[in-house]
Amino acid sequence: MKSTGEIREEFQAAKMEDWAALFAAYADDERKGVQKLLEQYRKKEEALARELRRTEEMKRYETKYEHLGFLCGIDEVGRGPLAGPVVACAVILPPDCKILYLNDSKKLTAKKREELYDVIMDQAVSVGIGMTGPSRIDEINILQATYEAMREAVSRLTVTPQLLLNDAVTIPGIIIPQVPIIGGDGKSVSIAAASIVAKVTRDRMMEEYDKVMPEYGFASNKGYGTEAHIEALRRFGPSPIHRTSFIGHFISPEN
């Protein structure tokens, strides 16, 4: 008789579609450890089935427009922070994309975003990144800076898409047809992928800035206006990556 550990190894080595046969093989094994193991894998199977259904639902726009050719999801991160760039990402996923757990980057843990970043970068047909820095944001305002970053992201794609799926906005100055989707990072796998890559890219940049300007806590606050960040801003004055047009409420003119 196989030990519980050996049965666990069988499950670990098997694909999900093979679990049913293992459930049947060990259904009559009355050992508590084995029954607990089977229950664990039944719950995993149910959770994975739910995720597959959710992911398929998030492909409704991709399915609707797949006849057009390559579809590109676009999203940005960093419109609200007091410091750092706004970063946009454009992602073209393969038509038969099998990536699970894609979602609005804000609904994912940092660890899950990092994991998905690697998967997206490995499996995507093309990924383009665009960004606009603090001085340019101050010069043309955050909305125009966001559009500029999005146009740059599209321009950096190695494949020209036939349609852009955007998170809520219509980007001026682009001739490719666009479909703005409110809350798109939670409704389209392509936009969700773009939101994840944009978020991870920007977070990594802010963590690098933290190494040379640790007093502002950029590694933890990512440039957003936390209480500690605002206190540091008042104490040390603005850094080279602070947005002058965003910080007037928090510092006196002499700073």
In this structure, the number of other CB atoms found within 10 A of the CB of residue 36 comes to: 11
Residues of the chain predicted below pLDDT 70: 252-255
Domains of the chain: 4-57 (no CATH), 60-197 (3.30.420.10)
Residues 113, 116, 119, CA angle at the centre, nearest 5°? 155
Contact status, residue 201 vs residue 118, Cβ threshold 8 Å: no
Give the per-residue pLDDT at 252: 66
Give the per-residue pLDDT at 180: 97
Strand partners, 87: 77, 131
Give the per-residue pLDDT at 19: 85
| 84 phi/psi in degrees, rounded to 5 | 90, 175
In this structure, the number of other CB atoms found within 10 A of the CB of residue 64 comes to: 12
Give the per-residue pLDDT at 22: 85
Distance of CA 163 to CAs 74, 78, 231, Å?
A: 11, 24, 45
Give the per-residue pLDDT at 254: 55
User: What percentage of the chain reaches a pLDDT higher than 70?
Assistant: 98
- Using one digit for the tens of pLDDT, what is the confidence trace for 45-60? 888 889 999 999 999 9
Give the per-residue pLDDT at 194: 97
Contact status, residue 251 vs residue 238, Cβ threshold 8 Å: yes
Instruction: Tell me whether residue 128 is exposed, middle or buried, using C-beta atoms within 10 angstroms of its C-beta: 0 to 12, 13 to 18, 19 or more.
Output: buried
- The token pair at 75 is 């999203």
Give the per-residue pLDDT at 34: 85
Q: Model-level pTM? A: 0.89
- Using one digit for the tens of pLDDT, what is the confidence trace for 88-119? 999 999 998 999 999 999 999 999 999 999 99
Residues 60, 115, 98, CA angle at the centre, nearest 5°? 35
Q: How far apart are CA 208 and CA 255, in angstroms?
A: 24
